[in-house]
């Protein structure tokens, strides 16, 4: 290994918003502080108080890709994102810890007044709009329900309101978004939180730098 690569800082991939915000206390527990705010800065590479650690800011669903290819040594991603990523990309990611942040649940939701149970028991073919196509496909296959899946990239709650779908599969936390759109959750699919993911090669070649951070994150997230 060249001296330059030994000097290269560790790179942690994060998405801005709730994952960045909820990761700050974990970094603080490892003695690391971040001075720039990705919401106001246009920079995509952020330094930290530790010259040996930098952050890259990417879309939530791109975090596993950066880590898998080794462009980031490690990253933080929701189980929802990891499940969709794993369906299309084999291996390369080590998942040492559940960080217990960005907690929510993946649900089936319908318009108030739509009789989901009746539709299921009658064997009706359901139109489901979702960003989580793999998780939805697996859920309905397990139930033996025939579905047509419609892939969306956001604002799923709109789909049943405008006749695009009978139901959605989406994340729910407080339930406020469903309520504001006159939707109700009819089934919980899985509890979601975010995990630390580590590039397998980095884990071997950069263990000395990585392991103390992994340990500090594990301790802080269990507290
Ligand atoms: P993109 O901008 O790429 O569409 P996103 O909407 O998935 O990204 P975030 O909303 O920041 O990005 O979500 C990041 C992760 O946080 C999700 O993958 C999920 O695990 C979790 N999450 C999403 N919504 C909530 C919520 N309302 N409450 C708690 N955790 C959530
Ligand atoms: C997420 C998710 C739901 C909402 C659920 O959206 O996609 O719409 O949170 O949370 P609630 O049950 O507490 O209302 P987010 O806030 O991430 O907005 P986004 O559409 O920009 O992803
Ligand atoms: Mg979101």
Closest to 170 measured CA to CA, from 181, 148, 155, 182? 155
- pLDDT tens across 19-59, in order? 999 999 999 999 999 989 999 999 999 999 999 999 999 99
Characterize the bridge pairing of strands 10-14 and 53-57: parallel
Q: What are phi and psi of 85, to 5 degrees?
A: -65, -45
pLDDT value of position 24: 97
The model's confidence at residue 1, banded by pLDDT at 50, 70 and 90, is very low
DSSP state of 38: T
Pocket test for ligand 2, best of 130, 152, 157, 173 (most atoms within 8 A of CB): 173
The answer to whether the predicted template modeling score (pTM) of the entire model surpasses 0.90 is yes
CATH class of domain segment(s) 104-191? alpha beta
60 lines ligand 1 (CB under 6 A): yes
Task: Pick the range with the lowest mean pLDDT from 19-23, 91-95, 102-106, 190-194.
Answer: 91-95
What's the 155 CA to ligand 3 centre distance in angstroms? 9
From 171, 180, 196, give the residue whose CB has the most ligand 1 atoms within 8 Å, as the site to mutate: 171
Global ipTM:
0.97
What value does the mean pLDDT of the chain take?
94
- Fold held by 10-103+193-222: D-Maltodextrin-Binding Protein; domain 2 (3.40.190)
Banded model confidence at residue 4, pLDDT cuts 50, 70, 90: very low
In this structure, are residues 191 and 201 in contact, taking their beta carbons and an 8 Å threshold?
no
Same CATH topology for 10-103+193-222 and 104-191? yes
Q: Which ligand has the nearest atom to the CA of 39? A: 1
* Mean pLDDT to the nearest integer, 73-85: 97
| Strand-by-strand arrangement of the 167-172 sheet | 147-151, 126-130, 167-172, 104-111, 183-192
Domain ranges within the chain, ordered by starting residue: 10-103+193-222, 104-191
177 Cβ closer than 6 Å to some ligand 2 atom: yes
Going by the DSSP 8-state scheme, the letter that residue 158 receives in this structure is: G
How many angstroms separate the alpha carbon of residue 137 from the centre of ligand 3?
21
167, pLDDT greater than 70? yes
What mean pLDDT comes out for the span 120-135?
96
């Amino acid at each position: 290994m060249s001296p330059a690569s030994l000097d290269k800082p560790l790179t942690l991939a994060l998405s801005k918003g709730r994952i960045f915000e909820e990761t700050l206390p974990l970094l603080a527990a490892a003695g690391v502080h971040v001075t720039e705010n990705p919401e106001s800065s246009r920079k995509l590479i952020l330094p930290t108080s530790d010259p040996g650690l930098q952050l890259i800011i990417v879309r939530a669903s791109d975090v596993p890709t950066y880590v898998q290819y080794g462009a980031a040594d490690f990253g933080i991603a929701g189980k929802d994102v990891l499940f969709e990523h794993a369906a299309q990309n084999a291996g390369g990611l080590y998942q040492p810890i559940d960080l217990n942040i960005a907690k929510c649940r993946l649900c089936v939701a319908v318009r108030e007044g739509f009789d989901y149970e009746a539709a299921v028991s009658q064997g009706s073919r359901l139109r489901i709009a979702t960003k989580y196509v793999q998780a939805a496909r697996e859920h309905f296959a397990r139930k033996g329900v025939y579905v047509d899946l419609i892939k969306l990239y956001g604002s799923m709650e709109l789909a049943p309101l405008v006749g695009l779908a009978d139901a959605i599969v989406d994340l729910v936390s407080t339930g406020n978004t469903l309520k504001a759109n006159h939707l109700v959750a009819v089934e919980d699919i899985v509890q979601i939180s975010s995990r630390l993911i580590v590039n397998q090669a980095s884990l071997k070649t950069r263990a000395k730098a990585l392991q103390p951070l992994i340990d500090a994150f594990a301790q802080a997230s269990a507290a």
